[in-house]
Amino acid sequence: MNNKAATSSSLRKFLRKPAEEDATTVHPSIQAEVKMAMMIVHHKTFFNLSDHLTRLVNSEFQGSAAAENFACGRTKTSAIINCLGNKFKAELVEDMKKFPFSFMIDGSNDTGIAKMYPITVRIYDVNFNRVMTKFFDMNLIEGSTSGTAATIFQHVDALFQKYEISWHSVTGLGVDNTNVNIGAHDSIKSRVLGKEPNVFVAGCPCHMLHNAAAKGATAFADATGFDLEDHCVDLFYWFDKSTKRKGILKEYCEFCDTDYQAVVKYVSVRWLCLERCLDRELKKYHALKSYFLSEHERDNRFKRLNESFQCPMSEIYLMFFHSAIALLTNFNRFLQREDPLIYLMHAQMEKFLNKLAVKFTRPEKVMEHKQKFGTLKTLDISLENQKADENLSVGLVTRGQLRKLLNEGDVDICDVDKFYDGVRRFYIAAFTYCTKWLPLDNPLFKNCVFIDFNERNKCSMDNVEGVLSSLGHIHRDVINNPRAMDTLEEEFLVYQAMSE
């Protein structure tokens, strides 16, 4: 305690200006120093920048009360940030003790002795009147068992005990979709549910879309022999770190009257970034084709790319993926929004599945199943319910280019049939994966739709009770109090009758 008091006292002296030992108000220069330190944190920039900013403020803002005694180099900036970080964490811990919250945890790459499993918290902030995401702890773990569910959970539980945070305040856990995280047995999920059975454990839907797209691409490659991921990797690394090759490509772009743009790097763990890769490649496809068919290299990567650009169907394959991937990318963007989305999730998942299904399934079968069962999770996508080849969704530009190549004799009907077989397999694999892993049956997602003001009159008190039941551990006082339930029903009925 004495050491902490001494540190706090010395920090206050560090921040106090000489002429203000007894002042009761904060000097403008101190406010400026704290704000600059927070700016450094917000923009994730180097502390050394504060040395330059201090000299800049002193020289350019003379006469300003804030600049008069401004002195905040990197040492002082780090002290301010450490102090404020502890203060913000203490405030967060107090809120976690009083209010319900969800938390997310993810692991870093294995690049050092210790592995990071940072914990972030989603909690309602009364000061900002909204739900916010806040950093809780870096959660460093060392040792040979650092990647096991038992060790990870043990460290999280130890943090909760250290700060006297109850598991009964936890509403949800966000993790990615590995067995260590969400497996039925011996996982972080199973251990969290052992502490509080009503915690909602959500795998990452963005990862699910990533996996669905990757499954579809693998099925497409099995049918056509065209591996999109390998193609994008080869293309980027052929030009990467070679000014000569880029310069030659630029000449081909000028010859083809195409603006030169660098090849976008494809990252395998971010499958949906392929939309940008494909968009960039298709814009200069003819220049790239001229380059690889005109140049001569012995490198195996060049030979693979040469073979790919020689095939007239390669452009068709790229066009199809550019069209098909847009649906998954748009849904992925929705999932990455900062505002709370739980009340929109069920409808958006069903809408996404509907758009995906009608790309290869006969629309009357989709409508019939939707009307009968209310969900597409169990839709029969067997061959007899699918569209004919010529009606499969491949994109208007893709279809037009395919028709042109067929009419000009550059491809034959066997090439076309193989392409449509790949398209069909892509959609089947992606749809099957989505219906298996997306939480379409989750009662919380289904019931909390009443929060959507536009859907309030389509819901009933049953939906409200369903949400209370799903989160019963934080609503026991309401559920077990008849008067509180009556009051809640009155409020819900008034809410339904509100005008827009």
pLDDT in tens, 52-102: 988 888 888 888 888 878 889 999 999 998 888 888 999 999 999 999 999
The mean per-residue pLDDT over the stretch 339-353 comes to 92
Question: Whose structure tokens read 């880029």?
Answer: 246
Is pLDDT at 11 greater than 80 in this prediction?
Answer: no
| Average pLDDT, integer, range 106-118 | 80
Amino acid at 194: G
**Looking at residues 297-307, what average pLDDT do you find?**
95
Residue 296: the pLDDT is 93
- Which pLDDT belongs to residue 107? 84
β-bridge partners, 172: 102, 200
Neighbour-count burial for 168-206, b at 16+ CB within 10 Å, e otherwise: ebbbbbbbbbbebbbeeeebbbebbeeebebbbbbbbbb
Lowest mean pLDDT among 242-251, 315-324, 465-474: 465-474
Cβ 99 vs Cβ 123: under 8 Å: yes
Output DSSP code: residue 386.
Answer: B
Name the pLDDT band for 337 (thresholds 50, 70, 90). confident
Note the pLDDT of residue 493: 95
First to last CA, the chain: 56
Strands (E), 96-169: 101-105, 114-116, 119-125, 130-137, 140-142
Per-residue model confidence (pLDDT) at position 4? 47
Any alpha helices (H) in 113-187, and if so which ranges? 149-162, 179-182
Partners of 124 in the beta sheet? 131
| pLDDT grade for 111, boundaries at 50, 70 and 90 | low
Q: CB of 189 within 8 A of CB of 181?
A: yes
Residue 9 has pLDDT above 50, yes or no: no
Cβ(319)–Cβ(398) below 8 Å: yes
Residues 64 and 70: their CA atoms lie apart, in Å, by 10
Residue type, 448: C
360-380 mean pLDDT? 95
Q: Is 310 helix (H, G, I), strand (E, B) or coil?
A: helix
Predicted pLDDT of residue 108 = 76
User: Alpha-carbon dihedral of residues 136, 138, 144, 147, nearest 10 degrees?
Assistant: 60
CA distances, 385 to each of 14, 365, 377, 428, 454 (Å): 74, 7, 15, 12, 34
pTM above threshold 0.75: yes
The two tokens of residue 38 are 């927070």
- Per-residue CA distances from 237 to 162, 230, 231, 258, 273 (Å): 49, 11, 10, 21, 16
What is the average pLDDT score of the chain?
A: 90
Q: How far, CA to CA in Å, does 268 sit from each of 145, 272, 277, 301?
A: 27, 9, 12, 18
Closest CA to 236 of 265, 261, 260: 265
pLDDT digits (tens, 9 = 90+) for 18-62: 454 454 567 888 888 999 898 998 888 888 899 998 888 888 888
